[in-house]
Amino acid sequence: MYKQLRIRAYLRSGVISDQYLPLDGILYYQLVREKMGEQILTRPGESNIREGTGLYLPLKLAGDRDDGTWFYNCSFAQWSDDMIEDDSFKVKKLDFVEYKNYLNENRVVYSSRGKFKAYHIKVYYRISSYVEWYCIGNVVEIAKLLKFCTHIGKNSGDGWGEIRKWEIVDWQEDWSIRGPGNKLMRAVPWRKSNCSYGLRPSYWNERHIFPCKMP
């Protein structure tokens, strides 16, 4: 059922993301949408998806399930050699045309302060031909989830992170945790570490954050 795989996303636009961009997080989003439908399942800082709900990815499990430090055999992002890091900004401001019926004609609206203040929000992005991951998983089930994944990273509604095509191929070695030259390919639990990071999706969830050795 499980095979050693390389999964590659060919990109059409830049991606707003850190260097890690875990694939299991991308797959988990698609799995939740498939199993639970299009509904609001999370609020800022909390999750309604509890442990034991049966939402497991079609990936091999690693780590220790007894102490909670389990994770998926799935690497973090490996960017193409032509990758460039850069920054830009987006503007957040009140749409006066859309909300004009809600505003009093005699009311003064300040766009320089208060709740209608306009913001220039800095964003950091990566331009790359492709980004790839290595994993051990069920190729049929993974392909089914990625079929509906058209964007990765943040601000996809603005066109960032658009995928041109996905490619899944069998790989000759297991690079899901350690890669060529024993290179660490993802976060792994390590009690002596001073760095804490998520081990599995959702990566922001405090229950999934442990002391880790990082790539």
Phi, psi (deg, nearest 5) at residue 166: -100, 145
**Do the Cβ atoms of 153 and 21 come closer than 8 Å?**
yes
Residue 197, both tokens: 């990071």
What pTM does this model have? 0.84
Strands of 3-11's sheet, edge to edge? 78-79, 130-137, 3-11, 163-170
pLDDT band at 90 (very low <50, low <70, confident <90, very high): confident
- pLDDT given for residue 32 in this prediction: 85
Least confident of 110-114, 153-157, 206-210: 110-114
Residue spans per domain, the chain: 3-83+128-213, 85-122
Please tell me what DSSP assigns to residue 191. T
Beta strands per DSSP E along the chain: 3-11, 42-43, 46-47, 61-64, 69-72, 78-79, 84-92, 119-127, 130-137, 163-170, 188-189, 196-198, 209-213
> Cα–Cα distance between 79 and 11 in angstroms, integer?
11
Task: Tell me: pLDDT of 177 over 90.
Answer: yes
By percentage, how much of the chain surpasses pLDDT 70?
Answer: 81
Q: Provide the mean pLDDT of the chain.
A: 87
pLDDT band per the 50, 70, 90 thresholds, residue 33: confident
